[in-house]
A and B are shown apart, each in its own frame.
Chain A
Amino acid sequence: MSRPSEGTLQRAIAFLAALGIGVAAYIAIADANSGSPVCLGGGSGCETVARSSWSHLGGVNIAVFGVVAYALLLATAFFADDLARFAGFVLALGGFGYSVFLTYVELFKIEAVCQWCLASAVLMTILFGLCAARLIVFAGAPEASPERA
């Protein structure tokens, strides 16, 4: 099986990070409008999670931090140097770790699951895999000319 080029990984990271921005922005906007995200399959999981105190950190909805993290991840996809590779890995690692923690909180503390949070966790998990692969395979490689992501 042929190894994907760094450009392919960059494009995949950019696509998923853009999706992540959309998901996190939806949650943040719903919160800013004093509402909660609507679970597509019905049920009250999204409202329960959104209304829980776990949804805010220092008075700021954690989805706002998600938007920032996804935006930074998106930015790393536009560069093909070691700084971008390593920064992407660290951002995705942090996002993945926090997603694991939040999923634990949903399941065992809030006892409700928000589909949008779960979607973000899945996106962050895939992004972590892609960023880790990018770093492991391409770290130390000569700086490529900027890629269109």
Chain B
Amino acid sequence: MSGPDRRSRLLQLAAGAAFLALAAVLVLIVITAAGSGDGGDTEIEGRAAVAKLLDGIPQRQMTLGDPAAPVELIEFGDLQCPVCAAYSEDVLPEIMETQVRKGTVKIDFRNLTIIGPESVGAGAAALAAGEQGRGWSFVDIFYRNQGDENSGYADDDAFLRAIAKAAGVRNLAKWDAERAEMTAQVEETSQEAANLGFDGTPSFAIKGPQTGGIKLLGFPESAGELEDAIEEAG
């Protein structure tokens, strides 16, 4: 093939490739915008806010904060509970900023299912996310996307998968396989809460050098009350 012919052929191929690439990008964007890409997380809200809130704070299983923090705040919550959701947005962020980031306290989330059986599947999914260091991200994003209690959303596979994706769970296959195994743990912590006398969510307990074991806080209504309890425990 002569030089000019080869040049003409190459430029034709290049134009065709450019057209295909443009079409491919447009199709990808349209599919993604429609939310039918790979799990449909388009309706999940609050991921950026949660990422900002938890940015730089260690997450290990369901514990948020420095594992060596002297004080441990234990929250018993139900992912379907609207009061827990409000608490996680209105009260806990202050504790995270003033206490958790400093390494003086860590917060442990434990499931206490009181709203209904769907909370068990949701709680197990959160625990499985915790196995990949995204437990608190899962819980906080779940709270921001709550639906009506026991309406079928809370243990819906597609919804939970979308929350897991938004939380940054990397190995969704592993998460999916492990969440079924976590049901027993959800029931164990619910029983633990009942043994402590808790029958509502959120309920808090605290452990620290000054508490001499676990101390029940119940439902501290403000960040100030929680801060006082943390100070006394430390």
Contacts and interface: CB of A to CB of B under 8 A. Distances in A.
Do A and B belong to a common assembly?
yes
A52 interface: yes
Contacts of B168: 51-53
B29 A104 contact: yes
A90 interface: yes
Interface residues of A, number: 35
B171 A86 contact: no
B7 A140 contact: yes
B51 A141 contact: no
Contact of B165 (A53, A59, A96): A53
A141 B48 contact: no
B10 interface: yes
Given A51-B51, A100-B25, A110-B47, A135 B170 contact: no
A108 B33 contact: yes
A22 interface: no
A52 B141 CA distance: 13
Contact of A56 (B4, B33, B133, B170): B170
A111 B25 CA distance: 19
DSSP majority for the A interface?
helix
A97 interface: yes
Interface string B4-17: 11111011011001
A140 B165 contact: no
Contacts of A109: 32, 41-42
Given A110-B48, A112-B48, A139-B6, A97 B11 contact: no
Size range of the interface on B? Answer: 35 or more
A82 B1 CA distance: 13
Contacts of B134: 51
A4 interface: no
Interface string A91-133: 0011011101100110011111000000000000000000010
A47 B25 contact: no
B21 A93 contact: yes
A53 B169 contact: yes
Contacts of A51: 51, 134, 137, 167-168
Contacts of A96: 21
A139 B51 contact: no
A142 B3 contact: yes
B24 interface: yes
Contacts of A59: 170-171
A112 B49 CA distance: 10
B86 interface: no
Contact of B55 (A44, A98, A101): A44
A79 interface: no
A112 B13 contact: no
Interface of A: 34, 44, 47-48, 51-53, 56, 59, 82, 85-86, 89-90, 93-94, 96-98, 100-101, 104-105, 108-112, 132, 135-136, 139-142
Interface of B: 3-8, 10-11, 13-14, 17-18, 21-22, 24-25, 28-29, 32-33, 38-39, 41-42, 47-48, 51-52, 55-56, 133-134, 137, 165-172
